[in-house]
Amino acid sequence: MSKQQIGVVGMAVMGRNLALNIESRGYSVSIFNRSSDKTDEVIAENPGKKLVPSYSIEEFVDSLEKPRRILLMVKAGEATDKTIASLMPHLDKGDILIDGGNTYFQDTIRRNRELSAQGINFIGTGVSGGEEGALKGPSIMPGGQKEAYELVAPILKEIAAQADGEPCVTYIGADGAGHYVKMVHNGIEYGDMQLIAEAYSLLKSSLNLSNQELAEVFSDWNQGELSSYLIEITADIFRKQDEDGKYLVDVILDEAANKGTGKWTSQSSLDLGIPVTLITESVFARYISSLKDQRVAASKLLSGPEIQPFNGDKAEFIEKVRRALYLGKIVSYAQGFQQLKAASDEYNWDLNYGEIAKIFRAGCIIRAQFLQKITDAYNETPAIANLLLAPYFKQIADEYQQALRDVVSYGVQNGIPTPTFSAAISYYDSYRSAVLPANLIQAQRDYFGAHTYKRTDKEGVFHTEWLD
């Protein structure tokens, strides 16, 4: 009996669609799911496809040509460990496991170490694009042994999204690098979504725009430098009506859930000492949105300004919000890529930031026209400390910062929360400040804890007896 070229474990929507994507490129695919009814369902719904069902781990592994290439699409965490443990007795040295789940990068580092010691190649792979991307072409971020990646690269390149004729996949780096980049991608996604939500709130609250008008604004924005998947779908969302003719966005409960990847990004930034303020504010914004009952109660007790109708030039205000959104987006990506640089140094990954930006250009949730500008910046100056210092982004900051300041001021004066817009301008001003008031903080630390301080006028480390 002929052997299959690759196997996929896990037939939930992502695993199913990736298996179909791989099969559509001419590969024969073995599929396995812990509960056999899911396997049968996939086979029944896809007659004539080169999908070969297996009903035991042993049968599944035996169905694959060597070295075996197995894509794991199971729930991150304990389920992944259990799946690997069930596979191990049947694998041979040189076989390749590809974890395509939303896995925490430290788990990937551990699994890579443990499996490498047993001769198994492990590729922790970030996959972005949701269920549609999985089927039609996602952005793929593989990390692990370079030699193992080369053995699966032809398949990954064929199933990946294409941008300007190039596949949106590249070797990211050793062990957990792929899943780390996917984690930061998701953090940036949180920031993008919150910035867009704040732009929506400002336009709706101040100009009282209808959903149809909002759709037109976002469609217009999508024709220019803000062109991106998230801006595009936002316009679609504003147009959607339910079966009763109500605009759906208006009846969706204002509680934003999360799966934890934004939190992971913020936690890692704290561990690395990198101020990823905008992404972290976007995580907190979701948390405060979930306090719905408390917010409703507080709205009746806590005072604040009433939102005043905007009486100026409507088109001018819309343009200010657009500029604020674009500059906020730039700050978010600058922070995210600074975090990638710190992680690359910490974990010895030697990340290629320009290549990472390139594979985000299609297939993934944060795909956007301006990602090419990031690639250009890193191609021009690979060691640039911060994207805000690149000529293009510096020029945008010069031209758009006043709009961001005006929008944040308007929000504060009218009681419209703008946590990520505010984080963007605060970070920008802090980063461009040659002197910050941290001297006072260090003096306080020395006062109560003898933590010492350095001076600007002489070398050395000092401690003062402040009460003498």
Residue 203: partners with Cβ closer than 8 Å, 6 or more residues away = 209, 214, 217, 318, 321
13 is in an annotated binding site: yes
Are 47 and 23 in contact, with CB atoms under 8 Å apart? no
Instruction: Tell me if 420 is assigned to some domain.
Output: yes
How far apart (Å, rounded) are the C-alpha atoms in residues 116 and 26?
30
Answer whether 0.85 is exceeded by the pTM: yes
Q: Report the 10 Å Cβ neighbour count for 304.
A: 9
Are 163 and 182 in contact, with CB atoms under 8 Å apart? no
Q: Is 406 exposed, middle or buried (0-12, 13-18, 19+ CB in 10 A)?
A: middle
Catalytic residue among 3, 146, 147, 182: 182
33 is in an annotated binding site: yes
Domain endpoint, select from 121, 147, 175: 175
129 is in an annotated binding site: yes
**65 catalytically annotated:** no
Total of domains in the chain: 3
Q: Where are the alpha helices (DSSP H) in 225-370?
A: 229-239, 248-251, 261-272, 277-289, 292-299, 314-347, 353-359
Q: Is the dihedral of CA 191, 197, 198, 199 positive or negative?
A: positive
17 is in an annotated binding site: no
260 membership: H or E segment, kind and range = none
Classify residue 349 by its DSSP letter: -
If we measure between CA atoms, which residue out of 287, 285, 261, 272 comes closest to residue 366? 261
Whether residues 201 and 319 fall in one domain:
yes
185 is in an annotated binding site: yes
Strand pairing class (29-32; 6-9)? parallel
CATH code, domain with 400:
1.10.1040.10
Structure tokens at 365: 């949730």
Structure tokens at 230: 């998230």
Angle at 195 between CA 189 and CA 196, to 5 degrees: 90
Whether residues 468 and 323 fall in one domain:
no
DSSP calls for 97-158: EEE-S---HHHHHHHHHHHHTTT-EEEEEEEESHHHHHHH--EEEEEE-HHHHHHHHHHHHH
Catalytic residue among 189, 198, 204, 281: 189
Q: Which domain holds residue 447?
A: 437-468
Q: How far is CA 268 from CA 242, 261, 418, in A?
A: 40, 11, 24
Whether residues 146 and 187 fall in one domain:
no
Whether residues 35 and 131 fall in one domain:
yes
Whether residues 160 and 208 fall in one domain:
no
CATH code, domain with 161:
3.40.50.720
Q: Give the per-residue pLDDT at 1.
A: 63
Q: Give the per-residue pLDDT at 159.
A: 97
**314 catalytically annotated:** no
15 is in an annotated binding site: yes
Q: Give the per-residue pLDDT at 259.
A: 84
Residue with tokens 């999360």: 258
Task: Write out the chain's pLDDT in tens, 468 residues.
Answer: 689 999 999 999 999 999 999 999 999 999 999 999 999 999 999 999 999 999 999 999 999 999 999 999 999 999 999 999 999 999 999 999 999 999 999 999 999 999 999 999 999 999 999 899 999 999 999 999 999 999 999 999 999 999 999 999 999 999 999 999 999 999 999 999 999 999 999 999 999 999 999 999 999 999 999 999 999 999 999 999 999 999 999 999 999 998 888 999 999 999 999 999 999 999 999 999 999 999 999 999 999 999 988 889 999 999 999 999 999 999 999 999 999 999 999 999 999 999 999 999 999 899 998 999 999 999 999 999 999 999 999 999 999 999 999 999 999 999 999 999 999 999 999 999 999 999 999 999 999 999 999 999 999 999 999 998
73 is in an annotated binding site: no
Q: Give the per-residue pLDDT at 309.
A: 84
